[in-house]
Structure 1
């Protein structure tokens, strides 16, 4: 469960309700921590027996983006990412800290990729010292020039291979990549470099935050789940739903039902498309 899915809930509410829903692992979102109470709140993870499998830093893009416009300089943004690792890594051993490139200044994607390889190599080495990983997430073309300069698994793998560090890999969000050409082959080839998987469903977006409950949209899950399974990935599938600034926004409704319905739908698809084909 990603804490983005339950954005209206507080950090403590997340832990309490996730436990009641049978959630054992979460994607921790730094922006949910309260300034001055971070260590106290992070300590609650052990109390609830909740393991962070991934982390969304408050500043996770190399270049300024719509969601994270400040600070402006790459060096300062990297330092913010490092401070997130220093704060959260002791409570999240082995977790994958998610990063995005941010939009390409002047549209120069090649320069972003070159910069990303250089900066992420150093960042991965820093993270390794804290026993955690870094996962690069390609985003939907909807978010090009807004949040990202790369939008396919293949482009992300170019950066990952260029970085060349064992603890630097891929955050695979099906909502973002499902429409890519040959995406199933790209997923399979990514193999052990897949560090985390995000799931939600797609309908034609009406805002930047408009994802759907699994089973209510258009994503062809069976071949995608089969490709992930064949790649060797055996980690958790994280429900990450943004739903804001649209009629009937999920963030304004019954979020427990969103979790329950999505889990049931994913389990059904998994049984029929993966277990049934094993």
Structure 2
């Protein structure tokens, strides 16, 4: 009889063999509308990954090889790319570099995100006027950045583009609301033309407000990037209840934990997964029941050796939950 460790290793080998052979069927068609400058280096086709495959959010700039290698060394098969460091520098050479590194380390990039340009104030006092596509002063620059990100992601066969859309008004008669609908409609159409989904990351708005936006944009390419902690950090909802509202629309996930805000000026505290208010067993079970096909991407908002140690702990915690769900 095989030991549990031997079974896990065998399963991992089988999964890697599958990933090596599988390709994204739509990647070739998605290349048709990307800029010619990126098309010159856009032949890379990523393999598929298993539903709810664990991954890691990384910020590749300024050393993408070190970051993608770290994903591999920590035992992840997927990564979520935060690409703000490359705005205005998405070149064919960068496409070639990223494609080579993803292939070299057998890592699948599942989603690409930008939130810049600045300013961005991650708090309750200045956040509404600085974050996302809601503020008029920064809207066009952010749309331009997202289109850059979408075109670059397309050149790598990445099918999801994500951002924080901002503090979307709960009042549909607020003059900023229809303007935000128009902006999200514009970027969703751009992503759809690239064969991608555009995802609104949860956080600054209530789940009901996000659902209204999905209804008003009325484009199947628009979906949700579930950040489990942000809903709590911003005091908007707990993720279990959020999934009751947004579950069918979730196409990407940040696994992150946090505590409710107790200072009305500051967000709640992000903490190591398993030490906060997120009910991960229930959230992951609900996603499984919903037939969620995306990755589960760990995001730990620290840096250095402590971040790596935290991620290792979080990976083990989530693997234990996912194994129970899959073996039930």
Specify whether residues 42 and 188 from structure 1 end up closer, same or farther in structure 2 by C-alpha distance, changes over 3 A only: same
TM-score if structure 2 supplies the norm length?
0.66
Partner of 2:216: 162
Partner of 2:312: 260
2:313 alignment partner, SS class: helix
CA contact (8 A) 1:201 1:213 kept: yes
Deviation at 1:56, TM superposition (A): 1.2
Q: Determine if the alignment matches structure 1 residue 66 to structure 2 residue 125.
A: no
Structure 1 residue runs without a partner (length 5+) = 140-147, 244-250
Deviation at 1:26, TM superposition (A): 0.8
Equivalent positions of 1:148-159 (< 5 A) are 148=204, 150=205, 152-159=206-213
1:72 alignment partner, SS class: helix
Deviation at 1:163, TM superposition (A): 1.1
What is the count of residue pairs matched by the alignment? 253
1:2 alignment partner, SS class: strand
Match of 1:57 among 107, 114, 126: 114
Specify whether residues 153 and 229 from structure 1 end up closer, same or farther in structure 2 by C-alpha distance, changes over 3 A only: farther
Deviation at 1:263, TM superposition (A): 0.9
Partner of 1:201: 257
Partner of 2:142: 77
Specify whether residues 25 and 110 from structure 1 end up closer, same or farther in structure 2 by C-alpha distance, changes over 3 A only: farther
Deviations 1:232-278 (A, max 9, x none): 213211101213xxxxxxx1434332222101111223345x347x4
2:257 alignment partner, SS class: coil
CA contact (8 A) 2:188 2:219 kept: yes
Q: Determine if the alignment matches structure 1 residue 38 to structure 2 residue 103.
A: no
Specify whether residues 186 and 200 from structure 1 end up closer, same or farther in structure 2 by C-alpha distance, changes over 3 A only: closer
CA distance in 2, matches of 1:191, 1:253: 34
Partner of 1:246: none
Which sits farther off after the overlay, 13-22 or 208-217?
208-217
Q: Determine if the alignment matches structure 1 residue 213 to structure 2 residue 266.
A: no
Match of 1:97 among 161, 169, 179: 161
Structure 2 residue runs without a partner (length 5+) = 1-55, 123-129
Deviations 1:127-158 (A, max 9, x none): 1111111101121xxxxxxxx4x1x2222111
After superposition, the CA RMSD in angstroms is 3.4
CA distance in 2, matches of 1:264, 1:58: 29
Partner of 1:145: none
CA distance in 2, matches of 1:93, 1:112: 31
Partner of 1:11: 64
Partner of 1:144: none
Which sits farther off after the overlay, 24-33 or 178-187?
178-187
Partner of 2:43: none
2:57 alignment partner, SS class: coil
TM-score if structure 1 supplies the norm length?
0.76
Q: Determine if the alignment matches structure 1 residue 23 to structure 2 residue 76.
A: yes
Which sits farther off after the overlay, 161-170 or 184-193?
184-193
CA contact (8 A) 2:115 2:142 kept: no
CA contact (8 A) 1:196 1:236 kept: yes
CA distance in 1, matches of 2:278, 2:198: 26
CA distance in 1, matches of 2:209, 2:78: 29
CA distance in 1, matches of 2:216, 2:291: 22
Deviations 1:203-245 (A, max 9, x none): 46797695222123332222222222222213211101213xx
